Amino acid sequence: MSKQSEPNSMNLFIDMDGTFVEYRYHHKINAKTNDFARKDFFQREILWYMVQKITRYIEELKIDWNNVYILTALPQNAFKSGLPVKQKIMHQAFPLIPSVNLLTPVWDNSNPGNLERIKVVYFENHFQRRLTTKDILIDDELPYLRRWEKNGGTALHISSLLKD
Protein backbone atom coordinates (compact mmCIF):
# COMPACT_ATOMS: atom_id res chain seq x y z
CA MET A 1 0.00 0.00 0.00
CA SER A 2 1.59 3.27 1.11
CA LYS A 3 5.32 3.45 0.45
CA GLN A 4 4.85 0.85 -2.31
CA SER A 5 3.96 3.37 -4.98
CA GLU A 6 6.21 2.60 -7.92
CA PRO A 7 6.89 4.66 -11.01
CA ASN A 8 5.85 1.81 -13.35
CA SER A 9 2.34 1.50 -11.88
CA MET A 10 -0.46 4.05 -12.26
CA ASN A 11 -0.97 5.96 -9.00
CA LEU A 12 -3.84 8.34 -8.31
CA PHE A 13 -3.64 11.11 -5.70
CA ILE A 14 -6.92 12.83 -4.87
CA ASP A 15 -7.22 16.11 -3.02
CA MET A 16 -10.08 16.24 -0.52
CA ASP A 17 -11.22 19.81 0.26
CA GLY A 18 -12.83 21.41 -2.76
CA THR A 19 -12.44 18.25 -4.82
CA PHE A 20 -14.91 15.81 -3.29
CA VAL A 21 -15.74 17.63 -0.05
CA GLU A 22 -17.43 21.04 0.23
CA TYR A 23 -14.79 23.72 0.71
CA ARG A 24 -16.82 26.51 2.26
CA TYR A 25 -16.86 27.17 6.00
CA HIS A 26 -19.78 29.15 7.44
CA HIS A 27 -20.66 30.31 3.92
CA LYS A 28 -17.16 31.67 3.26
CA ILE A 29 -14.47 30.33 0.93
CA ASN A 30 -11.47 31.72 2.81
CA ALA A 31 -11.08 30.54 6.36
CA LYS A 32 -9.17 32.53 8.95
CA THR A 33 -6.19 31.00 10.76
CA ASN A 34 -8.14 30.58 14.01
CA ASP A 35 -10.98 28.80 12.13
CA PHE A 36 -8.74 25.78 11.50
CA ALA A 37 -8.72 24.86 15.19
CA ARG A 38 -12.53 24.83 15.49
CA LYS A 39 -13.99 21.39 16.03
CA ASP A 40 -16.44 21.71 13.14
CA PHE A 41 -14.00 23.15 10.60
CA PHE A 42 -13.32 19.89 8.73
CA GLN A 43 -16.82 18.45 9.10
CA ARG A 44 -18.23 19.34 5.70
CA GLU A 45 -20.52 17.72 3.20
CA ILE A 46 -19.21 15.00 0.90
CA LEU A 47 -19.97 15.82 -2.73
CA TRP A 48 -21.30 12.42 -3.75
CA TYR A 49 -21.59 13.24 -7.45
CA MET A 50 -17.83 13.98 -7.45
CA VAL A 51 -17.12 10.72 -5.60
CA GLN A 52 -19.04 8.92 -8.36
CA LYS A 53 -17.07 10.72 -11.09
CA ILE A 54 -13.74 9.94 -9.42
CA THR A 55 -14.73 6.30 -8.86
CA ARG A 56 -15.69 5.98 -12.53
CA TYR A 57 -12.31 7.46 -13.52
CA ILE A 58 -10.50 4.92 -11.31
CA GLU A 59 -12.49 2.06 -12.85
CA GLU A 60 -12.00 3.29 -16.43
CA LEU A 61 -8.23 3.50 -15.98
CA LYS A 62 -8.23 0.18 -14.06
CA ILE A 63 -6.18 1.69 -11.25
CA ASP A 64 -5.64 -0.72 -8.37
CA TRP A 65 -7.32 0.67 -5.23
CA ASN A 66 -4.05 0.04 -3.38
CA ASN A 67 -2.55 2.72 -5.64
CA VAL A 68 -5.20 5.32 -4.88
CA TYR A 69 -4.33 7.92 -2.24
CA ILE A 70 -6.03 10.87 -0.62
CA LEU A 71 -3.44 13.67 -0.52
CA THR A 72 -4.83 16.44 1.65
CA ALA A 73 -2.88 19.01 3.61
CA LEU A 74 -3.67 19.89 7.21
CA PRO A 75 -2.69 23.07 9.04
CA GLN A 76 -0.36 22.47 11.95
CA ASN A 77 -2.70 24.01 14.52
CA ALA A 78 -5.54 21.69 13.49
CA PHE A 79 -3.78 18.40 12.85
CA LYS A 80 -5.14 16.62 15.94
CA SER A 81 -8.72 17.68 15.34
CA GLY A 82 -8.63 17.46 11.54
CA LEU A 83 -7.00 14.06 11.01
CA PRO A 84 -9.80 11.89 12.48
CA VAL A 85 -12.41 13.81 10.51
CA LYS A 86 -10.48 13.41 7.26
CA GLN A 87 -10.03 9.69 7.99
CA LYS A 88 -13.78 9.32 8.49
CA ILE A 89 -14.59 11.22 5.31
CA MET A 90 -12.14 9.13 3.28
CA HIS A 91 -13.68 5.88 4.53
CA GLN A 92 -17.21 7.09 3.87
CA ALA A 93 -16.48 8.35 0.37
CA PHE A 94 -13.94 5.74 -0.76
CA PRO A 95 -14.16 2.60 1.40
CA LEU A 96 -11.85 0.69 -0.97
CA ILE A 97 -8.89 3.00 -0.35
CA PRO A 98 -6.64 1.46 2.34
CA SER A 99 -6.41 3.48 5.57
CA VAL A 100 -2.66 3.92 5.17
CA ASN A 101 -3.27 5.72 1.88
CA LEU A 102 -4.47 8.89 3.58
CA LEU A 103 -1.48 11.20 3.11
CA THR A 104 -1.61 14.37 5.17
CA PRO A 105 1.24 16.83 4.73
CA VAL A 106 1.25 19.39 7.53
CA TRP A 107 1.78 23.07 6.86
CA ASP A 108 2.59 25.91 9.19
CA ASN A 109 -0.49 28.11 8.82
CA SER A 110 1.33 31.04 10.40
CA ASN A 111 3.73 31.01 7.41
CA PRO A 112 1.94 29.62 4.33
CA GLY A 113 4.64 30.64 1.82
CA ASN A 114 5.14 28.17 -1.04
CA LEU A 115 2.12 26.17 0.03
CA GLU A 116 1.75 24.93 -3.55
CA ARG A 117 5.00 22.96 -3.11
CA ILE A 118 3.73 20.94 -0.15
CA LYS A 119 2.18 18.05 -2.10
CA VAL A 120 5.21 17.50 -4.37
CA VAL A 121 7.67 17.74 -1.47
CA TYR A 122 5.55 15.38 0.66
CA PHE A 123 5.30 12.89 -2.22
CA GLU A 124 9.06 12.87 -2.80
CA ASN A 125 9.85 12.48 0.90
CA HIS A 126 7.17 9.85 1.51
CA PHE A 127 7.89 7.64 -1.52
CA GLN A 128 11.60 8.46 -1.84
CA ARG A 129 11.36 9.08 -5.56
CA ARG A 130 10.49 11.75 -8.10
CA LEU A 131 7.10 12.08 -9.76
CA THR A 132 6.45 10.40 -13.11
CA THR A 133 3.64 10.82 -15.62
CA LYS A 134 1.98 7.77 -14.04
CA ASP A 135 1.47 9.76 -10.81
CA ILE A 136 -1.84 11.56 -11.35
CA LEU A 137 -3.10 14.34 -9.08
CA ILE A 138 -6.78 15.33 -9.09
CA ASP A 139 -7.17 18.69 -7.38
CA ASP A 140 -9.26 21.85 -7.51
CA GLU A 141 -6.35 24.24 -6.97
CA LEU A 142 -4.33 25.31 -10.01
CA PRO A 143 -1.11 26.12 -8.09
CA TYR A 144 -0.92 22.52 -6.80
CA LEU A 145 -1.68 21.13 -10.25
CA ARG A 146 0.90 23.33 -11.97
CA ARG A 147 3.60 22.39 -9.47
CA TRP A 148 2.76 18.68 -9.77
CA GLU A 149 3.00 18.80 -13.56
CA LYS A 150 6.16 20.93 -13.48
CA ASN A 151 7.80 18.23 -11.37
CA GLY A 152 6.94 15.38 -13.73
CA GLY A 153 3.48 14.22 -12.63
CA THR A 154 0.16 14.29 -14.47
CA ALA A 155 -2.27 16.95 -13.27
CA LEU A 156 -6.03 16.79 -13.68
CA HIS A 157 -8.36 19.56 -12.56
CA ILE A 158 -11.51 18.18 -10.94
CA SER A 159 -13.64 19.96 -13.54
CA SER A 160 -12.19 17.61 -16.19
CA LEU A 161 -14.24 14.78 -14.68
CA LEU A 162 -17.52 16.66 -15.05
CA LYS A 163 -17.92 16.09 -18.76
CA ASP A 164 -20.60 13.60 -19.92
Longest pairwise C-alpha distance within the chain? 43
Q: Is 4 within the bounds of a domain? A: no
Cα–Cα dist 111/104, whole Å:
18
Q: Which residues pair with 106 in a beta bridge?
A: 74
Among 125, 74, 80, 141, which residue's Cα sits nearest to residue 104?
74
Q: In the chain, how many domains are there?
A: 1
Is residue 1's pLDDT more than 50?
A: no
Rounded to an integer, the average pLDDT of 147-152 is: 96
Q: Is 153 within the bounds of a domain? A: yes
Domain that holds residue 85: 11-161
> In whole numbers, what is the pLDDT of the chain averaged over residues?
84
Cα–Cα dist 164/149, whole Å:
25
Q: Is 80 within the bounds of a domain? A: yes
For the ranges 29-43, 96-110, 113-127, 133-147, the lowest mean pLDDT is seen at 29-43
Cα–Cα dist 24/41, whole Å:
9
From the number of C-beta atoms within 10 Å of its C-beta (0-12, 13-18, 19+), residue 45 rates as: exposed
Q: Is 5 within the bounds of a domain? A: no
pLDDT of residue 136: 97
